[in-house]
Amino acid sequence: MKIILWMMVLVFAQLQFAYSADLEHFIKRFSFKRNAQGILVAVIDRSLLDMTQNLKARDLIKGSLAELIKLSEDLHAQGHGGDLSLVIQDFLNRNLSQLSAENNQETALTLLASLDSKKIRELMNHPEWEKVYAALDFEVKLLGDDYATLARPDSRLYFYKRNLFSGISKNITSLIKSLLPFGAWLDVVNFLSKKFIDTIHENQKFHKNILLYYVRNFNAEDLGLSELERKKILSSLFDDEMPLYAVWDLWDAIRDWPSYGETRHGKAMKKVEKGIKKYSGKFRSLDERWGDYYYLATTKKGHRVVLNFMDPVYFFTRFPSVGVYLDKRWANILERSIYEVVKLAVRFLPWGFVGTVVDPMLNIRYKDQIEHEGSLLAHLEGNDQAFSLSKDVLRQSINPFIIKTGGLRQTTHGSKLPNLFGDFSEILNR
């Protein structure tokens, strides 16, 4: 009996430690901005302050393309490669069961070696790029402190009304169309420019999901908030997720702003619970819940995975995607990196126009997952003693800004931003 009681005390102590550690991370990461009347007007992420002021689009885009060229030429010299069109067609024609980590290793080697280095160099040296770089730097710098502002609890529909990043993308596209004739170069330059902007936006959304984790899993008093403030923060976080066409959501927010976030989150959780109810039997066990969306599970083949029940593996199913492969940490990193290179590569092919089809098809498989993995990271920062997964979650985002700013712990990347097209270090070192 004494042993049981001692074990219960130990577990309770561990839980308390994790809880306090989480709050410590919250305080380090976020600050509250209040007006003269003491009303909470903004939640600021300290790690995002000044991030947009020193970014150079030229360094990241040109540097990433240069790394692709080096990878391609090195692997080609080693005997890898093939017809790029056939490599991509084969990859796109595979069903989900064929996208194994082992198959992706060979695909990555062949894909990278098959890239046309000459065409990529021609792209890098296009004379109009400098004007595009200047425009990108100007737009990003204008974001200022607003970029670090994750929630505007007392400004109803603040993010919906601004629709900031969509406006930036439209401005850049208009500039590119005025500089380049219609054709392949216009498409690829526009793709890379929008990718740069989207990557910055994705980083902000990742951080918003970190905040969402705390707002959902801790009570208001512990966070230094009133309950009304906590609910308004939640509403502001979902405000940013509202599509422009969703007039029904717009009406809900106008009618009852404090309850809007709770309502939206409740609808999301119904989808999660539906997926759990339908597919939990496909796994040997669901061992632990990690936040709202994630479950530590054991597959029928004995592998340990962290399942994401918010974002299904594909559009027409609720079957969960894999947040992390615990026995193959590099699997998501490699698969997502391939997706990014494929989206670029199709634009160098005669049928490159199908990028407008390929991009959404691939995005469905991982873009929402990356954003929601901010909440997974937040969970891990307070409970990551067993698996040390935090760094892996950052790396598999394949987003240089998430890798740089996402973790409170120091990364190993120094001052240099990682590649825009992912991380192939695992296959190169095997």
Q: How far is CA 239 from the centre of its chain?
A: 18
Length of the chain: 430
319: which DSSP letter? P
The pLDDT of residue 65 is above 80? yes
Token duo for residue 179: 């500089």
* Ranges 102-106, 118-122, 232-236, 341-345: which has the least confidence: 102-106
The 40-45 sheet, strands edge to edge: 30-34, 40-45, 149-151
CA–CA distance, 9 with 6 (Å, rounded to integer): 5
DSSP 326: T
Minimum mean pLDDT among 3-12, 29-38, 83-92: which range?
3-12
Backbone angles phi, psi at 232, to 5 degrees: -70, -35
Please report which confidence band the pLDDT of residue 350 belongs to, taking 50, 70 and 90 as the band edges: confident
Question: Is residue 291 a contact partner of residue 378, using CB atoms and an 8 Å limit?
Answer: yes
Predicted local distance difference test score (pLDDT) of residue 97: 63
pLDDT confidence of residue 430: 58
> Nearest-CA neighbor of 156 among 247, 251, 245?
251
Phi/psi for 297 (5° steps) reads -135, 160
| Cβ 275 vs Cβ 319: under 8 Å | yes
3-state DSSP helix/strand/coil % of the chain, to nearest 5: 65, 10, 25
Extract the tokens encoding 6: 């001692």
CA 86 to chain centre: 29
pLDDT at position 429 over 80: no
* Residue, of 408 and 32, whose pLDDT is higher: 32
Rounded to an integer, what distance in angstroms lies between the CA atom of residue 128 and that of residue 125?
9
